[in-house]
Structure 1
Amino acid sequence: MPEFALDPKELQWCAELRELAATRLRPLAEAGEPGRVNRPLVAALGELGLLPRLFTSGSLDLCLMRESLAYGCTEAETALALQGLGAHPVHAHGTDAQRARWLPEVSAGRAVAAFALSEPGAGSDAGALALEARPDGDGWRLHGEKCWISNAPGADFYTVFARTAPGAGSRGVTAFVVPADRPGLTGEPLAMLSPHPIGSLAFDGVRVGPDDLLGEVDRGFRVAMTTLNLFRPSVGAFAVGMAQAALDATLAHTAQRTAFGGVLKDLQAVRHQVADLATRTEAARLLVHAAAAAYDRGEADVPRRAAMAKLLATETAQQVVDTAVQLHGARALQRGHLLEHLYREVRAPRIYEGASEVQREIIAKELYKSLDQHAEEAGPV
């Protein structure tokens, strides 16, 4: 089964990606301006043939890319993932003209994509979107704000979710592809804990027409959720990559660091902590692979499995990195140390693309839905 064992070619490819991340991509990441889109890094991902795979491969392939890149260069992993998140709705729901306009440019690393869902008052509760799409002739005018949008305001286009049916909750949302140069669209960068390109967007009567529509009117929530179902397991893969990097650093450190008259690895308290971290990391990896394989097979329980994978992997990575910092001591808190970097990076995945609390809600909802279905099939008792 693919979720329990990778074949030799997959293992070799992952090793090559980790090497590329460390030697080719990390220098580009370090040369970039914190908090801004790193276009040379995005271009390198295209030149290496990684961006086209976002649209030609399955969820497991995406997870392997994200975990491997995260191990060696979290900025490269994030740049890859954001290209996929922003452009996948065009790939999956766009017209032929929209695909021809944007996907070759995204694949080559020449165009930067963004997924514009969150708002100041609608983060985890995506059904509460307030950005209005007011009717205007054969199209609409967008009025409102988006916030905490990755790659904003430096993207070339945005997949934007707006309300076309007031009071309809998730059933009244429509998706649009909006070029960044549309009149009335402005943005500002936000200074975040981890220095990724994240910003806010303001829509002051931005015109969108039928050619900008992604999917069907009032069916944009489905566009958002199908995209998130694909990417949620791979957020877990990102977390696993960070956890593995922290674990490996901890193994190396505790194997040579002397304290209290001996080497740290010889202390039972240290050995047991390391054993627990390794076990949790491997469990998270297996759950991520299982969820990705289920997505690729088109199984019905993908929402539950994707939520479980993201929940376990991101919570595990937080624990692994935090414990790794503790075992390293003060040196891990110095600016520029791998663990200082990971400590800032690891916090956000427990929030974005659905916070851990939202994942628990999805899991419970799917479990009870399954229970109700089984009860209906069994009939009255």
Structure 2
Amino acid sequence: MGTFSLAPDQLAWCAELRELAEQRLAPLAEKGAPDRVNRPLVAELGRLGLLARLFTSGALDLCLMRESLARVCTEAETALALQGLGAHPVHAYGTREQRERWLPEVSAGRAVAAFALSEPGAGSDAAALALCADEDGDGWRLSGEKYWISNAPEADFATVFARTGPDAGAAGVTAFLVPADRPGLSGDHLDMLAPHPIGSLVLDGVPVGRDDVLGEVGRGFRVAMSTLNLFRPSVGAFAVGMAQAALDATLVHTAERQAFGGPLKELQAVAHQVADMALGVESARLMVYAAAAAYDDGADDVPRRAAMAKLLATETAQQVVDTAVQLHGARALRSGHLLEHLYREVRAPRIYEGATEIQRAIIARELYKNGPDKHERPSDKHEAHQKEATR
């Protein structure tokens, strides 16, 4: 990965994933209700072995899967990603019993997972959680509401973050594994710009015990942030996949569409826009791969790299898809057109798992925290070099 190029076997795997998405996943996506969990699609992802790879692969492989699937079938990509997001805390922080109970079911596509962090008053500000866990004997009762939760309310279990301590902010938050059949748990669907299996969860005194805790009591914010640090670069990969699909469609269209005596590609204004699209896609892809490689290498600057990758890729994808729509003209606005679909799909990634503005705040915070040594400023180094040069 030193030159950020993929090995031949990785390229072959990406091509295989795109073929599987076209032949076996896209037909199932078309049959499902777009605003409900598509269980046949999830089951097929399990049969293909892709869900199991969520727990055996590194961040780069996760990005390659998400990008490859997104180029062909965004519904399959989303189903895969949501299984990983909801179940990763179990994989990384669960007890042996929790892992043995749920991970084989998730891997096989028999159980659907949810990641329940956001609330009506706590979206990008994840530390502002209000859902409370009141002590009840050796356990707790969860009371409150979760909002914007993918796979809710149909998921078979959810990783739920609740406040077990009185401390404000990140302290005092605990992660719980909550099966869907717990008494007091209900929810509803939410209608979105791009149809998506997403909804709310209402917890009315839902009982949980110490054997439902993921990680440690009071350390749930760590569970949430470590999960997001893994998945944020892969959100960027999802965006890159959509941007590449838009670019591919634009190359075909501008080569075939005749206007002003020749194909659109011969118009300089069009050619320059296509070139800019390609520059954006490739730049975002390299940023995503670099962030994923840093995560796999255990680098110290993962939060900054993850934030940069998500920000650049999602913002770039929005611009690329918008340009593609413009170059296709009115046909791209028709319901059912690939670009009409991508235009709606590409908007949400700029908000979920930390909005663009939050990513900028993370990047700046990390830069200041890990910046140059205060006792040896860049200007000091420059002056030292100047003195050495004049000797």
After TM superposition, the score normalised by the length of structure 1 is 0.98
1:54 aligns with 2:54: yes
**Is the Cα–Cα contact under 8 Å of residues 3 and 286 in structure 1 kept in the other structure?**
no
Code of the aligned partner of 2:345 = E
Q: SS at 2:218's partner residue?
A: coil
Task: Tell me which residue corresponds to 2:166.
Answer: 166
Q: CA RMSD in A?
A: 1.1
**Is the Cα–Cα contact under 8 Å of residues 59 and 234 in structure 1 kept in the other structure?**
yes
Return the alpha-carbon distance in structure 2 between the equivalents of residues 68 and 113 of structure 1. 22
Task: Tell me which residue corresponds to 1:274.
Answer: 274
1:197 aligns with 2:197: yes
Deviations 1:99-144 (A, max 9, x none): 0000000000000000000000000000000000011100000000
Return the alpha-carbon distance in structure 2 between the equivalents of residues 366 and 194 of structure 1. 33
Task: Tell me which residue corresponds to 1:119.
Answer: 119
Task: Tell me which residue corresponds to 1:219.
Answer: 219
**Is the Cα–Cα contact under 8 Å of residues 2 and 289 in structure 1 kept in the other structure?**
no
Q: SS at 2:104's partner residue?
A: helix
**Is the Cα–Cα contact under 8 Å of residues 145 and 203 in structure 2 kept in the other structure?**
yes
**Is the Cα–Cα contact under 8 Å of residues 3 and 289 in structure 1 kept in the other structure?**
no
Runs of 4+ in structure 1 over 2 Å off? 374-378
1:89 aligns with 2:89: yes
Return the alpha-carbon distance in structure 2 between the equivalents of residues 57 and 294 of structure 1. 14
Task: Tell me which residue corresponds to 2:248.
Answer: 248
Task: Tell me which residue corresponds to 1:21.
Answer: 21
Task: Tell me which residue corresponds to 2:388.
Answer: none
Return the alpha-carbon distance in structure 2 between the equivalents of residues 320 and 273 of structure 1. 9
How far is the alpha carbon of 1:23 from its aligned partner? 1.4
1:314 aligns with 2:314: yes
Return the alpha-carbon distance in structure 1 between the equivalents of residues 233 and 145 of structure 2. 28
**Is the Cα–Cα contact under 8 Å of residues 160 and 178 in structure 2 kept in the other structure?**
yes
Code of the aligned partner of 1:182 = R
Task: Tell me which residue corresponds to 1:70.
Answer: 70
Return the alpha-carbon distance in structure 2 between the equivalents of residues 376 and 86 of structure 1. 44
How far is the alpha carbon of 1:263 from its aligned partner? 1.2
**Is the Cα–Cα contact under 8 Å of residues 184 and 203 in structure 1 kept in the other structure?**
yes
Counterparts in 2 of 1:224 and 1:347: CA distance versus 1, 3 Å: same
The structure that has the greater radius of gyration is 2
Structure 2 residue runs of 5 or longer lacking an equivalent are 381-391
How far is the alpha carbon of 1:376 from its aligned partner? 6.2
**Is the Cα–Cα contact under 8 Å of residues 128 and 168 in structure 2 kept in the other structure?**
no
**Is the Cα–Cα contact under 8 Å of residues 193 and 344 in structure 1 kept in the other structure?**
yes
Return the alpha-carbon distance in structure 2 between the equivalents of residues 72 and 94 of structure 1. 33
Return the alpha-carbon distance in structure 2 between the equivalents of residues 222 and 70 of structure 1. 29
Task: Tell me which residue corresponds to 2:367.
Answer: 367
Return the alpha-carbon distance in structure 2 between the equivalents of residues 173 and 286 of structure 1. 35
Structure 1 residue runs of 5 or longer lacking an equivalent are none
Task: Tell me which residue corresponds to 1:323.
Answer: 323
Return the alpha-carbon distance in structure 2 between the equivalents of residues 67 and 177 of structure 1. 29
Deviations 1:264-286 (A, max 9, x none): 10000000000000011000000
Deviations 1:27-49 (A, max 9, x none): 10010012100000000000000
Task: Tell me which residue corresponds to 2:354.
Answer: 354
**Is the Cα–Cα contact under 8 Å of residues 2 and 293 in structure 1 kept in the other structure?**
no
Deviations 1:52-94 (A, max 9, x none): 0000010000000000000010000000000000000000000
How far is the alpha carbon of 1:261 from its aligned partner? 2.3
Code of the aligned partner of 1:298 = G
Task: Tell me which residue corresponds to 2:236.
Answer: 236
How far is the alpha carbon of 1:166 from its aligned partner? 2.5
Q: SS at 1:149's partner residue?
A: strand
Task: Tell me which residue corresponds to 2:264.
Answer: 264
Q: SS at 2:149's partner residue?
A: strand
Code of the aligned partner of 1:375 = K
**Is the Cα–Cα contact under 8 Å of residues 139 and 207 in structure 2 kept in the other structure?**
yes
Deviations 1:234-264 (A, max 9, x none): 0000000000000000000000101122211
After TM superposition, the score normalised by the length of structure 2 is 0.95
Code of the aligned partner of 1:315 = E
Code of the aligned partner of 1:186 = S
Task: Tell me which residue corresponds to 1:186.
Answer: 186
Count the aligned residue pairs.
378
Code of the aligned partner of 1:29 = A
Return the alpha-carbon distance in structure 1 between the equivalents of residues 66 and 3 of structure 2. 16
How far is the alpha carbon of 1:194 from its aligned partner? 1.1
**Is the Cα–Cα contact under 8 Å of residues 17 and 69 in structure 1 kept in the other structure?**
yes
**Is the Cα–Cα contact under 8 Å of residues 60 and 292 in structure 2 kept in the other structure?**
yes
Return the alpha-carbon distance in structure 2 between the equivalents of residues 167 and 232 of structure 1. 27
1:305 aligns with 2:305: yes
Return the alpha-carbon distance in structure 2 between the equivalents of residues 145 and 375 of structure 1. 45
